């Protein structure tokens, strides 16, 4: 009898990985137990993210995101008075990238003059999706699909990619 091999279960879904990451950033642990839980969660996150097999593509894009933030850390980085990348926008963009499904291609990252970060999925010059991540929970996005185009705003809770945003990215990248 042939053994059936189960499909792999995403560690991010199984362990509530995005929630776990946001928990490690809270920094509000007061009791010894809460501090121990935060320390354990942080160790688990470092272990997963240290694995190229589990986190390779995301580690690369998050590293690029931090390089971009370093390059645009001073006001006027563009020579025209642009704001430095906002630290909260950087954290929000990193949390958004962590929350992306594993099977979705990673975006290109770019700074925006207002201190926000643009995450762009570009299939061709006529098929693209652009998302602006700022210092609040508001995600502004726009897409172009041939002659069709659109835009919208969604809220990001720091854990789950809004369904509408995910569906639009998947549609462009199919």
Q: In sequence order, which residues have a C-beta less than 8 Å from that of residue 61 and are 6 or more positions away?
A: 97, 106, 107, 109
Low-confidence spans in the chain with pLDDT less than 50:
1-15, 52
pLDDT value, residue 57: 82
pLDDT value, residue 3: 44
Tell me how far CA of residue 20 lies from CA of 25, 89, 108, in angstroms: 9, 19, 25
Per-residue pLDDT of 24-51, as tens digits, reads: 555 556 677 777 776 676 566 555 555 5
Per-residue pLDDT of 54-69, as tens digits, reads: 557 888 999 999 999 9
pTM: 0.72
């Amino acid at each position: 009898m042939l053994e059936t091999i189960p499909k792999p279960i995403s560690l991010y879904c199984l362990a509530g990985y995005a929630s776990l990451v946001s928990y490690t950033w809270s920094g509000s642990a007061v009791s010894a137990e809460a501090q121990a839980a935060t320390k354990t969660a942080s160790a688990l996150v470092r272990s997963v993210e240290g694995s190229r097999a589990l986190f390779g593509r995301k580690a690369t894009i998050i590293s690029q995101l931090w390089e971009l933030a370093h390059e645009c850390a001073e006001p006027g980085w563009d020579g025209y008075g642009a704001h430095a990348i906002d630290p909260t926008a950087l954290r929000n963009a990193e949390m958004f990238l962590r929350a992306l499904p594993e099977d979705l291609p990673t975006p290109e990252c770019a700074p925006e003059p207002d201190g926000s970060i643009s995450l762009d999925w570009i299939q061709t010059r006529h098929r693209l999706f652009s998302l602006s991540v700022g210092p609040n929970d508001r995600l502004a996005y726009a897409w172009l699909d041939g002659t069709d185009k659109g835009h919208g705003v969604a809220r990001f809770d720091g854990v789950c990619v809004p369904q509408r945003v995910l569906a639009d990215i998947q549609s462009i990248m199919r």
